[in-house]
Amino acid sequence: MDIRKAVFCSALMMVLPASAVGGGLSAEDVSKIKQVHKKYEEAWLRGDSNAVLALFTDDCVLLPPHADKPRIGHDELKEFWFAPDAPPTQVTRLVVTPQSIGGDGQIAYVWGTDDVAWTTVKDGKTVTASHQGVFLDVLQKQANGEWKLSHRMWDDKIE
């Protein structure tokens, strides 16, 4: 290849968006990933544990805050979030706000902020709690084109 073609190809690669040269996420992928986060909010607000779990891959990894033990797979997610012996808890507010979405069309990463509040009934008393925090999600595109959460980690503000 002569030098002019090499310079032209190099310049073209620098100005084309990543998706045009085989990388990046399509607009449709970004929209579907945002929908996963919207469904996540809605499922928690409905108290629908099955809908929450359905948003995760079977081999998902949950990395709770404060260096708590990782939870791997649906069974461990269910035990962590929906333990049968846990006091009754209802999420009353959940706002998940993606700040940045990237990836390569098969794997995506999303980071952002969240604002969550909940009530728990302990010894006949209703206790209210809330926090604002940050999250990092990794999603995998499934064979049917659907996106699912494969890894999730979050932390809350130090108050």
DSSP string over 28-45? HHHHHHHHHHHHHHHHHH
Q: So what's the pLDDT on residue 159? A: 67
Q: So what's the pLDDT on residue 78? A: 95
Low-confidence ranges of the chain (pLDDT < 50): 1-22
Q: Is the residue at 74 inside a domain?
A: yes
Q: If residue 27 lies in a helix (H) or strand (E), which one and from where to where?
A: helix 27-46
Q: Is the residue at 142 inside a domain?
A: yes
Question: CATH number for the domain including 95?
Answer: 3.10.450.50
Q: So what's the pLDDT on residue 43? A: 98
- Nearest CA to 137 among 88, 96, 105, 104? 96
Q: So what's the pLDDT on residue 23? A: 60
- How do the residues of the chain divide into helix, strand and coil, expressed in percent and rounded to 5? 35, 45, 25
Q: So what's the pLDDT on residue 3? A: 43
**Count: domains in the chain:** 1
- Distance between CA 95 and CA 93 in Å, rounded? 7
Q: Is the residue at 141 inside a domain?
A: yes
pLDDT per residue as tens digits for the range 78-119: 999 999 999 989 999 999 999 999 999 999 999 999 999 999
Which amino acid is present at 149?
L
Q: Which domain holds residue 143?
A: 24-156
Q: Which residues contact 85 (CB under 8 A, 6 or more apart)?
A: none
Q: So what's the pLDDT on residue 66? A: 85
Q: Is the residue at 101 inside a domain?
A: yes
Q: Is the residue at 14 inside a domain?
A: no
Q: So what's the pLDDT on residue 5? A: 40
